Chains A and B, each alone.
Chain A
């Protein structure tokens, strides 16, 4: 396993290094599908410049990263490319480790041969490292890669069973962008399952553990926020980062659903629509948690997919995050019906994004409707992947249950 993995790493690092040095790097870092106002490298550099001048980096509404991120880059700005490559490697290492770890413990994987299981970590690593979306994101030096690394570390620590580390990393991920807040529920469910505490609202053990975990999470969040305050000496970062995420003032087109709507609506209704759109992201946590309480890892996958489809400034790096997890559920492939059509749609949309952008902005022959149509189609394809995986999981569970009950009845 080590040899193919090393080969994969070398290939991935080579591709990124070659692209970093070519003239394509500036082209890619300007693409709106790859960078958003939240994680663009240009804005990080701007924020660093303002910090060096002694001005608050949040003045001027350009910089929307968290203070810890500025300080991280303050020290490593010359080696930025290396930081991004290392985070990609780190991320992949976590994925690899978590995959190889998970299946020894998970007893539901009896439907697959051990040989297939052996290859899954490698496939996950391949899906992430060689995914063109991740490569583009890394070459553009978007901080999305770092966010993905933190989320992967969080999943790793959760699966390893360390509640404290998991809480701290989840707090860090939430601190970066609010949306990983929804991952609190699946992490909690995983720990409860692991410690054999039944999810019963009347049991005191359930409440005891929940409060413990919540305390660790909220505590780390408070500590990190306090640290940011002390680093910069003001609370400026809260409206600039979290206010920016929630109120969506920047309407640069991207692959998400917010920009077109918010560009057309009247000021009077803006608050209402922001609430509705943001609520959409958090809303699915409760029903999904109830339905998937025995499968917290699948729930994590579902939540990450929902976040990357419905968040306010998605980029292709977010899409790559949940796509990398797909091989982990390869036992569902037999039942996936429309996956071919959907993947063709996603591929065609990815090819059409730059074409319609060119026709709109440079040639002037198209307009925003064309670009938004492709955005809608892309998100529709993503939602189809999400629902297809969900439905096949339900179907697979039913078949598994039938087989097990048959098995039990025989004996």
Chain B
């Protein structure tokens, strides 16, 4: 470490950092944003390719032909569903048994912490029905799962019917090396969570379920099917799972390869790929697709029934049939052939999918950006924090604060502890105080929870004015510098750890938090800076993301509708955490918000 221990070079380096600190920070920030936006530019991306050898070398003729039978089955299923006013369990069990599967059911129940207004449920009770097709020749140590949700109303009837038709076709084949489980789950994600917890003997979310009577071995891959019409124009692939986890890219490559082979239009984020990458519209299209993926990954919820499988290290993806206004229609037989082909390729796997990337961004289905290309964008933003930390004024403070006589450490401790206690209050109180809030105010439980959260968030803004009075020896130059040093390091470590697990969340938080936190001092004009800080706080970031998301899916909303959507996003976030173990809400409440509060404290230091 000659650079750091040679005093002359050290002085030169610190001099450079002092003089050029702000310009370097600005350049890094702009470079980070430009790098990120440039990721969607096609020459900077790589073409997707199949990495797993076991999936690449077979030439298979798909022979599924029971598409019409599937459609009539769909009508039958719809009729029974209406009659049973929920899931027609007996009909499903009989249908699967007549197709030669080993059928089992699982019942589950869950009381949500507060009513879910989007899906209108509070006390959820349901049954999952699954049939196992045993592999005829191989030892039964591995399994594949194909799942279709049983949704209320007219949705997903064709999916369940296609599932049953595929089961019948698969039963007659002899080449299966893995068991295949055909799962029909009720109440979408809650049913899938109950089934997975029962299968793996875990209980991480407090669900009550009956134990599974039949098992099939270690699940290697899963496919979720959502099909609501007899003919479709395109198939959409959904990859984002819980906490922003993505399946192995090979699964997306597999889907794309089969769409090409069978001539089915395939989309990602609902957008079709364009060929004109050198025009402005082409680039914007790719950038929009990538931004949609980033936003969906950042919110940490599972965007299809497949998302919960990823936590158990099972590569899973959702295939959704879309029927829009296009000339060329695809029928159920072709979809069946596509699924047959995919499952046959997955059948050939010798080990779990691990050859291709786990961390990537997709500007289109045939192009991808790997972690090595997108991480520098985040790195450039994180470097700003580190540059600010090593700013010599701050660094000197650290060595001074180690002296026992200066009160530096204790004055820092109080804002840190109070900010974290506010964070804990933001995490615990909204759900626990909902009964009290409903008694005193004319709101429903969901509104009570969301409004309590917003109230605690806003109440935290009033803290600095009160804590300063409690401390003695306040308002010292030393004090705020030590606090800023601690807060910058804390933010850097926090954002780094977040970006490793969920890059999109880390990046979005970095884009909004880094500029204000790097430049904050108590000597700035307070009113202006306070407004800017509030506008760039985590809650407003969520609001902007809601508006941007609506713009990108071409369904722009007005301000009031956007506000309602924002409130529902908060309630969904809290529910996702309680039901499936999503980490976005605890991260924001317990770590990001207290960190932001510490910077808010610095602004109002004297």
Contacts and interface: CB of A to CB of B under 8 A. Distances in A.
The answer to whether A and B belong to the same complex is: yes
Interface of A: 115-116, 119, 123, 330, 333, 336-341, 344, 347-348, 351-352, 355-356, 358-359, 362-365
Interface of B: 1, 4-5, 245, 310-311, 313, 352, 354, 358-359, 389, 395, 398-399, 402-405, 489, 492-494, 496-497, 500-501
B497 A351 contact: yes
A365 B404 contact: no
Contact of A333 (B403, B489, B497): B403
Of B1, B4, B310, B497, most buried by chain A (CB within 10 Å of CB) is B497
Contacts of B1: 338
A341 B489 CA distance: 11
The 8 closest A-B pairs by CB, nearest first: A365-B358, A364-B313, A355-B497, A351-B493, A119-B404, A340-B398, A333-B402, A348-B493
B501 A338 contact: no
Contact of B4 (A337, A344, A355, A359): A337
16 contacts: A116-B404, A333-B403, A338-B1, A339-B399, A340-B398, A340-B399, A344-B389, A351-B493, A352-B497, A355-B500, A358-B501, A362-B313, A363-B245, A363-B310, A363-B313, A364-B313
Contacts of B399: 333, 336, 339-340
A286 B123 CA distance: 70
A351 B311 CA distance: 21
A351 B491 CA distance: 12
B352 to A, nearest CB: 8
A33 to B, nearest CB: 15
A330 B404 CA distance: 9
Contacts of B358: 363-365
B481 to A, nearest CB: 14
Contacts, number: 57
Given A351-B496, A355-B500, 6 more contacts: A348-B492, A355-B501, A358-B501, A363-B245, A363-B310, A364-B313
Contacts of A340: 395, 398-399
Nearest to B498: A355
A119 B405 CA distance: 9
B583 to A, nearest CB: 10
B246 to A, nearest CB: 9
Contact of B404 (A123, A341, A364): A123
Contacts of B405: 115-116
Nearest to A336: B399
B523 to A, nearest CB: 24
B434 to A, nearest CB: 22
A337 B399 CA distance: 9
A348 B491 CA distance: 11
Contacts of B501: 355, 358-359, 363
Contacts of A115: 405
Given A362-B313, A363-B358, A344 B489 contact: yes
Nearest to B398: A340
A123 to B, nearest CB: 7
Contact of A362 (B311, B489, B496): B311
Given A338-B4, A340-B398, A348 B496 contact: yes
Nearest to B354: A364
Nearest to B389: A344
Given A363-B358, A364-B358, A356 B313 contact: no
Contacts of A358: 501
Nearest to B403: A333
Contacts of B352: 364
A351 B496 CA distance: 10
Contact of A337 (B5, B389, B492): B5
A358 B313 CA distance: 12
A12 to B, nearest CB: 15
A333 B352 CA distance: 53
Contacts of A336: 399
A199 B206 CA distance: 67
A141 to B, nearest CB: 23
A356 B496 CA distance: 12
Nearest to A116: B404
Contacts of A352: 496-497, 500
A339 B4 CA distance: 12
Nearest to A354: B497
Nearest to A349: B493
